[in-house]
Structure 1
Amino acid sequence: MHTARTRGRRAAVVGLTALAVGLGGVAVGLPAQAAAGDPTDGTLEWGFRQSFRNYVGRQTAALPPIGAVPVGQRITVLAPAQFDVDGTPAVPENTATPNETLPYLLPVTGGSVTSADDLRVESAGGAVFAFPSHAFTVTVTDVAVVVSGGVGSLVGDLSVVIPENNLGYTAGTYGGDDVVLGTVTDVDVTLTAQSVTVSGTGVALTADGAAALQNFLQEGAALDDFTVTADRESATAPVWSPQITVSKTSGFDPAGTETVTVTGTGFDPAANLATGRPPVANGQPTGVYVAFGRFADVWRPSAGAASAARPVTSQKWALPEPSYTQVGTDYPSQAPALVVLQPDGSFTAQLDVKAAAQTTGTYGVYVFAAGGAAANAAQELFVPLSFAGDLDVDVTVPETPVDPGAFSWTVAGSGAVSLGTATAGDAAFTAVGALPAITVSDTRPASPGWSITGSTGRFASADGTASFPGSRLGWAPHVTGSVAAAGAAVAPAASGGLAAGSTLAFAPAGSTSGAVTAGADLTLSLPLDTPAGAYSGVLTLTAVG
């Protein structure tokens, strides 16, 4: 937030530093990603304080000579926030209760969840309360719902601007970022794997909030109750890669019986669902059969082979829970043949190896979907076994040499951008500049596509006493060459801008190989009351390819 200063125009010297930390030529300044379970999309329903909205929205007791400002200018929302109309039809401007006295819908932008007692759900946008005849403009933005140790609070950016006045108020700008606005008497959290909902009642203004408001509202004043509901980031699905190993594969006595140990890994325990045929309950996973036998050359169920192609000499059944317990309980005669398919996709089974009656086919350990489930080619595996006197024939098929190509990108110059000295206009300071040339090379024969995005954080003065949000920076991307396309232009704004992240350049999947040069014209726009000084920030570029 800005400190108080006169409205005399001053030049603000602004610098922009590009973060240039290379990660294998693929990503620079890779931003933190949402962890599994963290809040994503959702809405915070809140209105700050109903009586304050009515007071400002109706311009109660507006003082001359300024008087009441027009409807529509009293309370405004900052995108992406919206008024919570809730189906209410538009209200005429000459009514005593205009639409701008309504509460707000604030989109959820992120946060973190450790448990129902420790979480944070963040939102974007906010509201501006303008009452010039009473000498204040209050801005509340970026409100977060915080629960720590089971205790709830509301945290947000609060700015209170008091101009020169004859009402006895000290002119200046008060408040700051991440102010604890309210304490919550009763907080209710509903937490599932897919969503988080937090409701708070008995919300009271804190001492810090009252001080920023210059005691227009006193500490303990009631703020509006709130509800926030957000989706949660899904955990990354495990990658299942079924494999089996056999403790011994050759030299078996054709006249005897020997036991081998089969170890399986990477089998999806949730696959192979029963379709109504016993013994596994309908809809439950059936696991896999682990068998020794002399199977036909075409034996796989996925290839249409009938069960007669798979004459079994010895067999175990790897079942996940709860199917393992259900089958063993309902069909006790099956229990000796059952082994557990663990949640991590592993199992261990013992099989007896002995010569079979048939004279054709290949001896081996075979694995395939069990219990009448549909064929699953990914879980059809085979390890050949041989008896003493058999002749093993081996061959190695080399990989066909293929140039895999490569994806790389470089940033020209020193990795820094100077926007020079901002120029004062009628409504704002403006500074312009340009990104250094970014060269992208993609020689992969079947490119999956790539993109480069950028985002900015806050800019801070050299002495750390002042700052402004990264949303004040915008850009107009451009590219050369036909391989890729430029992202959309983003204008600087009070919120949004490059703080929300934007695409610089991209190439869709299947793009032709080649090189492209990307860049962007940068524009910074600042309020005229920005404190003078040299500022710097970070523009983070991220490449995914």
Structure 2
Amino acid sequence: MVRSRAGQAWRQSMRWAAVVALGLSTALVGAGPASAAEADITGGTLTWGFKQSFRTYVSGGNGNPPIAASNGATINADGTFTFPSTGGTHDSATGAASAEYGGTVVFSYPSHMFTITLANPTIAISGGTAALKADVDLVTTAAEPVSVRQATIATLASGGNPGGTGTVSGSNLAATLTAAGASAFNGFYAVGDALDPVSFTFTSGGGSGPARPAVAVTPSGGLDPSGATITVEGSGFDPAANGGAGVYVAFGPRVDEHWTNAGVLQVTKWVSATNEPTEARDRLNADGTFRTTLPISAVYTDRTGRRVDCTAVQCYVITFAARGSADRSQDTFTPVTFAGTGTGAGDAEQRITATVKGGPLTLGVAGSAVALPAVTNGQVASGALHDATVADLRGTDAGWSLVGQVSDFTSSTGGVVAADNLGWVPSAVAVDDPLAGDPGTVVPGAVAAPGAGLGAARALCTSAAGASGGTFTCGAQLNLGVPVSAAAGDYAATLTLTLS
């Protein structure tokens, strides 16, 4: 008999954690003339690899995916990460700086019972010293969770304070883990450990730094509602921001989180320093200027199927950092109007609002016991695992994994059949959404043969981040190989399913 117990956490004496530290092995470089004023940081990037050995270890695990970047952070070809500038301040007289960067990196290893999230790193420079701050969250089924916000997790050998205005950079800079960082991660790394180097830039106002982005549209008013081509000229943009990804130049209404809700826009053109001009692309000059055109009309159907009427709602030429970046320093909104705006007699619109609160991630199992048929020694007893139902109602598409592990089979007379003798053939399907939402995707785990089976945790089914919302049914054919040496008797084991 096999009994299934849903939701029980493993009790191994193991605690997983990781820490990132940024450090400086060369001096910081400041470009531009000196100034006594504190200025806002208007752009820049931070590139850092966390710790190469840790990335290699996590990449070999069963996370889905093992390493993911979001909210503007990107994964580079060599496995390091780039975070875009989100602001901060720099005092050109003293060199003191708080350079803030956005983005999130998640390390996931379900079979080793941990997920580590690192977000929003900050380079802090003051009084001849430098440090790295960050938000770090550790979620584990083996111990209590850890959560810190903008904690100083590494010291940086800065080589002094970078003065002047314009662009400040640090290249291939080394770091040392602090006591606070080691404590936050329960000693997974020791105080003083060296971690991967970091390179960063930030640009402050004045001096040789770029001006604030500005856009001029010609013509910007009285356009023919049936269609017109407008000329868009930009200045003050940063060609190096966000790893040189450039900006999108678009037309449509202004909506919340416009950088991720591009489906409402009528037309979008990508402008970057490396582009050759086409209908969909144009070039961003080295001095931060560009000139391009957009074909627009007053009424169109957006990519969600919604009718947009720019004579009834205000529409804009909108610029924003490319590739979903969290950097808002490249945002501009220039209004455009059409002839007859506000005088139409046909349509009326009402704005409908609703609040979606989100729900839980839950696991249900159709039964608590599976009776396999009696077999003789050397044969395989097969049966069906009761279906497990996973419902991801969180609305975050954060991904999930359902894994199983079985204990040894024992009999009342002292017989033992090793846990690895139980194998399975997983299956998984998504349940149709009656409200016509986009269905999530689910992948069955790998087949495990008797003899190399469930003595270790194995995935029954998984759903990757970005497509995990919905309801899913996961099952398996169970195959118990009975050794020729097993003593006769009735055997039982406990199979534990864990959702994370």
Bucket of the pairwise TM-score, normalised by the shorter protein: 0.3 to 0.5
